[in-house]
Amino acid sequence: MNTLTVTPGKAWYREPWPWFLISLPATAVIAGLATAWIAYHSADGLVVGDYYKAGLGINQMLARDEAARALALHASLQQEGTVLALTLAGRLPALPDQLALTLAHPTRAGMDQTLSLHHAGSGLYRTSLPVMPAGKWHAQLTDAASTWRLSGVLHTPLNQPATLAAATESPRR
C-alpha cells in the first residue's frame, strides 16, 4: 500500500508572491488616498465663483484700457530698496494724488495684494514694497476713480524695471 506523505512547506505568508500581488492594489489605494488629501487641502485658485458677473465686467475693463490708450499712458516700476517707485507718463490733464496697484499671483488668489501709491512729484509715485515670494505677478494700475487702467507682468525680485501699458485689443473672430 502506498501512503501519501505530505512534506510540510512554508506558510503562505512566508512566500513572496502573495505579498507582491497584495502590494499592487494596496499601492493604488494609498495613491488614491494621497490624491484625495491633496485635492481637499489645496484650493483651485483659477476658478472664479461668480463667472457671470466677471463676464459682464469685461466691457467696463475694455473701456478703461481704451481710455488709457487715448491718453497715451505708460508707467515704469522699479524697486529702490524696500520702496516701490513708479513713473507715470502720458497726456493726463492733472496727475492724480493716489494710484492703486494690484499685484495678482497667476494661480493663488490668496497672495494677491493691492498697494496704494502716493504722488511724490513730477509723475513719480512711491509706496513701501511688501515681502513677496519670487515669481511672476500680473500688475494692474488704476487711478482712484478707475477711469483708466494699465497692465503688465513683473517678476520678483524686481531686479530690472517693469513696464505697464494699456492692454492691446485682441482680434475678434
Q: What is the mean pLDDT of each run of 10 residues along the chain (173 residues)?
A: 70 91 96 94 69 73 89 93 93 92 89 93 91 91 92 90 82 42
pLDDT for the residue numbered 5: 67
What's the pLDDT score for residue 172?
Answer: 44
C-alpha to C-alpha distance for 162 and 155, rounded to whole angstroms: 8
85 three-class SS: strand
Contact by Cβ (8 Å): 172, 158: no
Query: What's 51-165's CATH class?
Result: mainly beta
- Which residues are 136's β-sheet partners? 155
pLDDT of residue 126: 95
Q: Which pTM does this prediction carry?
A: 0.66
- Taking the C-alpha atoms of residue 173 and residue 171, their distance in angstroms, rounded to an integer, is 7
Q: pLDDT at position 171, please?
A: 43
Q: What is the pLDDT of residue 170?
A: 52
Q: Output the nine-digit C-alpha cell for 19.
A: 505579498
Domain layout of the chain by residue ranges:
15-41, 51-165
